[in-house]
Amino acid sequence: MSTVSEKTTTSKIQVKDLRKSFGSNEVLQGINLDVAEGEVVCVIGPSGSGKSTLLRCLNKLEEITAGKVVVDGFDVTDPKVDINEVRRHVGMVFQHFNLFPHMSVAENIMLAPVELKKMNRTEARAKAEELLTRVGLSDKANARPASLSGGQKQRVAIARALAMSPGIMLFDEATSALDPEMVGEVLQVIKELADSGMTMVLVTHEMGFAREVGDRVVFMDGGVVCEEGKPEELFGNPQQERTRDFLSKVL
């Protein structure tokens, strides 16, 4: 397979001069980003700055206009790459949970392993139960999503993304749609994942969380990476006026 020979050991994610336009609107204007194995990168920035588009380019939910993206050894910009194979390596959790309402919690988690990986149902069920225990929902395997709280639904969505044993997890404002009292339980699950060594890119509005779990924080504005650094640097001593202005509004 051509994709295997392109495997890289230097970083888990490599983004080089990534550009993305919607019509004449260039929303990513040359993004460079490297994420090392086990690194947790938090992406912050104002609404419309291109954070979601960047994440979506990483697993080709968006067509890439120009530049290069290599994710878990796969060149996403290579037209020959098997995009389903890429997505098996990259788990994604969205603001809205997108659980299938007509399936039980366990069936939601089993779906991709059974359909894509051809795991048998017994094995997939055991894996689902193990993941539900990990996110603190071992008693909910047979529940329907509608009977769960928002925080529980998001924890199921995380378990579902983990069911494919991805090498990378992407989170796009995973707590933004939650009632405040449910944010903590979801952040706790994400933090445990970070502590387990998972490579992650998190778009978040939770500045305290970014500071606590991020190895690095990337501030995006207007489709570019305006500033990046260790959390204590970026939050404690921002260098760019635009970063200071943004932080003064959200902190």
Residue 184 interface partner, choices Mg ion, ligand ADP, none, CB cut-off 5-8 Å depending on type: none
With H, G, I as helix, E, B as strand and everything else as coil, classify residue 109: helix
Nearer to Mg ion, 107 or 173 (CB): 173
DSSP 240: S
With H, G, I as helix, E, B as strand and everything else as coil, classify residue 52: helix
Nearer to ligand ADP, 53 or 154 (CB): 53
Q: How many CA atoms lie within 13 A of 251 on its CB side?
A: 16
Cα distance between residue 188 and residue 194, in whole Å: 10
Q: Which residues contact ligand ADP by CB under 6 A? A: 22, 27, 45, 47-53
Other CB atoms within a 10 A radius of the CB of residue 45 amount to: 25
The region that residue 77 occupies, defined by phi over 0 for left and psi between -120 and 50 for alpha, beta otherwise, is: alpha
Residue 151 interface partner, choices Mg ion, ligand ADP, none, CB cut-off 5-8 Å depending on type: none
Residue 27 interface partner, choices ligand ADP, Mg ion, none, CB cut-off 5-8 Å depending on type: ligand ADP
Residue 102 CB, nearest approach to ligand ADP (Å): 28
Residue 22 CB, nearest approach to ligand ADP (Å): 3
Nearer to ligand ADP, 45 or 214 (CB): 45
Residue 175 CB, nearest approach to ligand ADP (Å): 15
Cα distance between residue 95 and residue 203, in whole Å: 10
Residue 100 interface partner, choices Mg ion, ligand ADP, none, CB cut-off 5-8 Å depending on type: none
> Which residues, numbered 46-105, are part of the site for Mg ion (CB under 5 A)?
51-52
Nearer to ligand ADP, 34 or 62 (CB): 62
> In sequence order, what are the residues at sequence separation of 6 or more whose Cβ sits closer than 8 angstroms to the Cβ of residue 115?
none
Cα distance between residue 243 and residue 221, in whole Å: 9
Contact residues toward Mg ion (CB under 5 A) are: 51-52
